[in-house]
Structure 1
């Protein structure tokens, strides 16, 4: 069998010479094995073992076959027994592969090291060792191992790919790219290398250049789900939403359990103006049902009714750094009462900065779960005795919704990082407010709404001391609109409406600033999208990403921020208000499109909420003609925001504490009633779907 640098490798059997009368049977078994005829191969391996129970090759490759068909424990047991009969490098290498497949990384490393001890020039074993060292979070050792592999065998393309991956983990993108290109020089048909070059180009902010890399990989391996997912993401970042949705659907069809592709699909369906709320909810429910089918919930100790105590609250997030989640979380955490709540962090992505260090001080424990599989992560949380587990991601990047499906905590909630239902029935509550989740829209969620008294967001003012400047229109003599949101939010309906605004306001121009516009081809495509509506190129200023201080300073170049739809701004909208820039938003029909309404209502700017497209254009024209009013608002808006509930962290913290304590009290009371009913023989016949409080009860 072929040997590659991937941990799925199988070695060829040129060891432990078989007796002559078994040689032909063994060769026939290998042919069946390589051709995917598992039952025929297994029958021949077993036939040999019936005559010779100590035939090492037959035992070993029967074990490999068992692993290939999904029975890892039995297969690994056979491989280990074959090594007792005949210890050799190839057997140990295969043992490492199978242990790695079962996520026994330490065991895999030990097996590869045994292989290398027996065969110091075994390049494939060094490369495989490097792969698993990466998976174990040790990129420096991975670089050493993979470098040894390519030194031993310079023509080994897979070794160069693994070496590139190790550099990629360290953030050394240029070195990673050089090694991927070396692999493609050796093997132009290496699909993974094409994919990895695409990944580097995405990091460089060049999604249009990454697209042909993913398409080339798909030509070589059309049935690999993650390649379709990666293609979908670069299509999304170019604003090609329908094509992106098709790619995500293809990924899900190839691998229905592929959580990342499912989440990307659901995220994008939420933002598409032609996808109904019903369709989005059905897709989310299907995802939740699939996750529930794979996960058995944990049994939890039932609390004593009415017993008030300090609660252990776990937060699961990959965004505990300079990210919108971190910005909205920081001031709240600092003001939570440690006598009421003990906070535990479960970090799903290792990325740290100065904000991370400040957030860490708010938690009694901080666990990296980025390399734990869903079962191990759920066990960790359950063993920790978490009372309330809070998802801060929803279907955004680095989420662990599959962990929540296992119900590791008795109460689970989703808050802050997402704007629609997760589809996970094991999540009890969605934390919201009356603006983003009115009573008549509760049926959009599988979770029960828990509405906070004011906004569901609390903004942490930025550390950067950037003052709000004078109204730019006073100097220019005309209005400059702006939007700093992700380009995916600028769907065709948004482009059409904003083009109407630019035509309706004399000499108006529009500044767009977002990381996708670092790519020249995306800038060109964006100009063409507006150009199709008659907007001249000189009316548009297109800029890429900047550090936060520079981003905030850029608000001093715009007079009015335009909010996209249905996916409105969140952080960008509050940052605009902080910099004295009012935001024009449009009323929506779901949580996602109500976020702008919640922000403006909380600050007392309800007049900036348009009823529909016509009102949006009319308000843009009216406010643009009122420069004195705009200048006065700009001078007072930061103080107005700071005095509102959006920046009142102590008040918000009390409300959040009360929410968690009241959730626990309801759970304790329900547990008490359930225990009483069981003692009296009363059956629990009411499902969550039938319970009247499941849709619309305001728990605030």
Structure 2
């Protein structure tokens, strides 16, 4: 019997069933002669209509328990889909959502005029309950309708996104063509920009063409323009965004993905607002509740690292791996809460990850399941390594997972809408004057916030320039960052440098996607720089060959407002002097931090004009540049930048200082980690 589905809701007590049978007889009615049977059916129909009307009236009067009593009798004699739909609506009002979804699902199991409406409502309630599998199962049964109906397409897309499953693309066209704002926003938001296809790229363009006043869609349109170095689009729409900010209209900023905002905006105040209206919200009072929770501390500090980037080829792990391996296991227990895509582990990981710590997978787990896994480990300090970057689980920190919550390394800025105590930084990337623009308390590391190691980095090889497509004897400026960092501001500065260095070339890493290289050539040509002076490469080589290409160039040039992080480290490790200038937010100050930690402060210009002046100066004074390169080679093995063991001891001291405050019942506060004495000898012997 279908009605057994609702026994947990106490809808079908034996007493109700007996009373119903006494009035109406068995469900099929008594056995009567034909004419009397027709009369019985008429009476039954009248009874059904009367009871349904009474139930509807009680519903309208918000007398929901009366509705259940009437429906309890009614559903024993008539299984009309409308009755189950009313039952579902009533259960929603009583906050019995799981049972409500089942009721609407039963209502939609019978062909009727409102069948799709009932199934759509069942999907909606399942989705709001977090039951993605039930949502997807219903949608799969009526796939053609789900593909055509924007509401159902939105539910399917949302469930697929939460489950990290394929198939989202089938619904995007329907969503993108919808006049409903939430639908088209979901259409573009569901696209992973870094991995987008030609079709997905075109969809964003088409949606913006249809809705040019939609600021949320405009954000994505500008993001793909920046990603493909389409400066004509950027030049057209960026002034509109700037004007909105100037007059205090921050609607577009609040709805922009935070990471995409810091790719073009060097204003810390704006960075702190970006993304405030996207994603989840930090629950009110959650920080105080978490700090008040009882916690059992052990002899060792239990550190948990949360990330999807736990594979050796990822930029974060190139920096962090040596530090994880250097942790003092007599004082610290290390657990990695891993959200890594199995494909990346299969094809892009060469390490035994157990050497980094105990691995606990949270991939594919619901928030509740992942939080349970973290709490089961009784973690003292949970360190999120991603912030608002791809495949993050940063919102798990809104579920009181540990006494101390920390953000570090993978996200160069404050993390909006998340319950975090500390941001690990240094006084270069986040000076004291920046405190008002950060939600977290600051943990200032000595020397630099950025870890590095020599353990798994090969030194550059030896090869002729011509093998790498570089002209012999010429002066070559270079940048090996991701191409989205080549902002209009940066390209204009590079064009000024090339104008004053007439025989020099510029070597850039740039994927040949969506016309990016052609766009860069055009931008330089418009500035009077011949396209044959712009050389392109990609990253599709082994790591040693990649570092070798870096070493073949003469002077690295940094980007603004998003500096190189791992790539700056790779340039310096390869022995390439690199020039940056003082930034205005975390992301634009990283290279300065790294250069200072390597003892090369003269490679930090004061401002954009000084950046151009110094680049041209080194072009004209190559012996001076050669001396800097020589000093750089030596400093790699004596200065803090690549000293993983030293960095790890500083990091462990930071964790101990955080824990000491928590154990003493003190609230988190800004603090500075003291530096160990400087080394008097190289920390490793290695041929330069």
* Structure 2 length-normalised TM: 0.71
Q: Specify the alignment match of 2:324 in structure 1.
A: 333
Contact 1:313 1:341 in 2 (8 A): yes
Q: Structure 2 matches for 1:162-311, cutoff 5 A?
A: 210-216=200-206, 231=221, 233-239=223-229, 243=237, 265-273=257-265, 276-283=267-274, 290-293=281-284, 297-298=289-290, 301-302=293-294, 309-311=299-301
Q: Determine if the alignment matches structure 1 residue 485 to structure 2 residue 481.
A: yes
Q: Specify the alignment match of 1:358 in structure 2.
A: 352
Q: Helix, strand or coil for the counterpart of 1:670?
A: coil
Say which one has the larger Rg.
Answer: 2
Q: Specify the alignment match of 2:411 in structure 1.
A: 418
Contact 2:304 2:381 in 1 (8 A): yes
Equivalent-residue separation in structure 1 for 2:186 and 2:436 (angstroms): 40
Contact 2:479 2:509 in 1 (8 A): yes
Query: CA deviation digits over 1:474-510, x for unaligned, max 9?
Result: 9733311111222332222212211110111121121
Query: CA deviation digits over 1:231-282, x for unaligned, max 9?
Result: 45423423456858989999xxxxx999xx9695333333435x53333335
Equivalent-residue separation in structure 1 for 2:527 and 2:446 (angstroms): 43
Q: Helix, strand or coil for the counterpart of 1:519?
A: coil
Unpaired stretches in structure 1, ≥5 consecutive residues: 1-15, 31-37, 113-123, 129-148, 251-255, 672-686
Q: Determine if the alignment matches structure 1 residue 667 to structure 2 residue 662.
A: yes
Deviation at 1:330, TM superposition (A): 0.5
Q: Determine if the alignment matches structure 1 residue 645 to structure 2 residue 640.
A: yes
Q: Structure 2 matches for 1:506-585, cutoff 5 A?
A: 506-514=502-510, 517-549=511-543, 550-585=545-580
Contact 2:177 2:207 in 1 (8 A): no
Query: CA deviation digits over 1:315-347, x for unaligned, max 9?
Result: 111211221211111000101011211112222
Deviation at 1:286, TM superposition (A): 7.9
Equivalent-residue separation in structure 2 for 1:169 and 1:411 (angstroms): 27
Equivalent-residue separation in structure 1 for 2:158 and 2:66 (angstroms): 42
Q: Structure 2 matches for 1:424-443, cutoff 5 A?
A: 426-443=419-436
Moved more, 279-288 or 164-173: 164-173
Q: Specify the alignment match of 2:98 in structure 1.
A: 76
Q: Structure 2 matches for 1:383-398, cutoff 5 A?
A: 383-398=376-391
Residues 363 and 471 of structure 1: is their aligned pair in 2 closer, same or farther, counting only changes over 3 Å? same
Deviation at 1:589, TM superposition (A): 3.1
Contact 2:282 2:418 in 1 (8 A): no
Query: CA deviation digits over 1:660-700, x for unaligned, max 9?
Result: 112111221235xxxxxxxxxxxxxxx97xxxx54x75666
Q: Helix, strand or coil for the counterpart of 1:396?
A: coil
Equivalent-residue separation in structure 1 for 2:388 and 2:240 (angstroms): 18
Equivalent-residue separation in structure 1 for 2:130 and 2:146 (angstroms): 29
Deviation at 1:435, TM superposition (A): 2.6
Query: CA deviation digits over 1:373-403, x for unaligned, max 9?
Result: 3x55444423432110112112322333332
Contact 2:257 2:275 in 1 (8 A): no
Residues 81 and 169 of structure 1: is their aligned pair in 2 closer, same or farther, counting only changes over 3 Å? closer
Equivalent-residue separation in structure 1 for 2:108 and 2:197 (angstroms): 52
Deviation at 1:577, TM superposition (A): 1.5
Residues 75 and 430 of structure 1: is their aligned pair in 2 closer, same or farther, counting only changes over 3 Å? closer
Equivalent-residue separation in structure 2 for 1:445 and 1:225 (angstroms): 25
Equivalent-residue separation in structure 2 for 1:268 and 1:201 (angstroms): 12
Deviation at 1:592, TM superposition (A): 2.1
- Aligned pair count reads 602
Equivalent-residue separation in structure 1 for 2:465 and 2:625 (angstroms): 7
Equivalent-residue separation in structure 1 for 2:478 and 2:557 (angstroms): 6
Q: Specify the alignment match of 2:129 in structure 1.
A: 102
Q: Specify the alignment match of 2:601 in structure 1.
A: 606
Unpaired stretches in structure 2, ≥5 consecutive residues: 1-27, 29-40, 76-80, 245-249, 676-688
Q: Helix, strand or coil for the counterpart of 2:497?
A: helix
Contact 1:478 1:507 in 2 (8 A): yes
Contact 2:575 2:632 in 1 (8 A): yes
Contact 1:271 1:567 in 2 (8 A): yes
Contact 1:248 1:262 in 2 (8 A): no
Q: Helix, strand or coil for the counterpart of 1:561?
A: strand
Contact 1:423 1:446 in 2 (8 A): yes
Equivalent-residue separation in structure 2 for 1:482 and 1:262 (angstroms): 35
Q: Structure 2 matches for 1:115-130, cutoff 5 A?
A: 126-127=140-141
Equivalent-residue separation in structure 2 for 1:72 and 1:489 (angstroms): 52
Equivalent-residue separation in structure 1 for 2:572 and 2:168 (angstroms): 41
Deviation at 1:580, TM superposition (A): 2.0
Q: Specify the alignment match of 1:452 in structure 2.
A: 445
Residues 593 and 384 of structure 1: is their aligned pair in 2 closer, same or farther, counting only changes over 3 Å? same
Q: Determine if the alignment matches structure 1 residue 399 to structure 2 residue 402.
A: no
Equivalent-residue separation in structure 2 for 1:364 and 1:494 (angstroms): 42
Q: Determine if the alignment matches structure 1 residue 315 to structure 2 residue 311.
A: no
Contact 1:76 1:99 in 2 (8 A): yes
Contact 1:432 1:456 in 2 (8 A): yes
Contact 1:195 1:214 in 2 (8 A): no
Contact 2:444 2:673 in 1 (8 A): yes
Moved more, 469-478 or 391-400: 469-478
Contact 2:563 2:591 in 1 (8 A): yes
Equivalent-residue separation in structure 1 for 2:85 and 2:383 (angstroms): 46
Residues 404 and 547 of structure 1: is their aligned pair in 2 closer, same or farther, counting only changes over 3 Å? farther
Contact 2:286 2:419 in 1 (8 A): no
Moved more, 285-294 or 617-626: 285-294
Deviation at 1:294, TM superposition (A): 8.9
Equivalent-residue separation in structure 2 for 1:83 and 1:65 (angstroms): 12
Residues 388 and 59 of structure 1: is their aligned pair in 2 closer, same or farther, counting only changes over 3 Å? farther
Moved more, 416-425 or 560-569: 416-425
Contact 2:336 2:359 in 1 (8 A): yes
Equivalent-residue separation in structure 2 for 1:127 and 1:64 (angstroms): 20
What's the Cα RMSD here?
Answer: 5.3
* Structure 1 length-normalised TM: 0.70
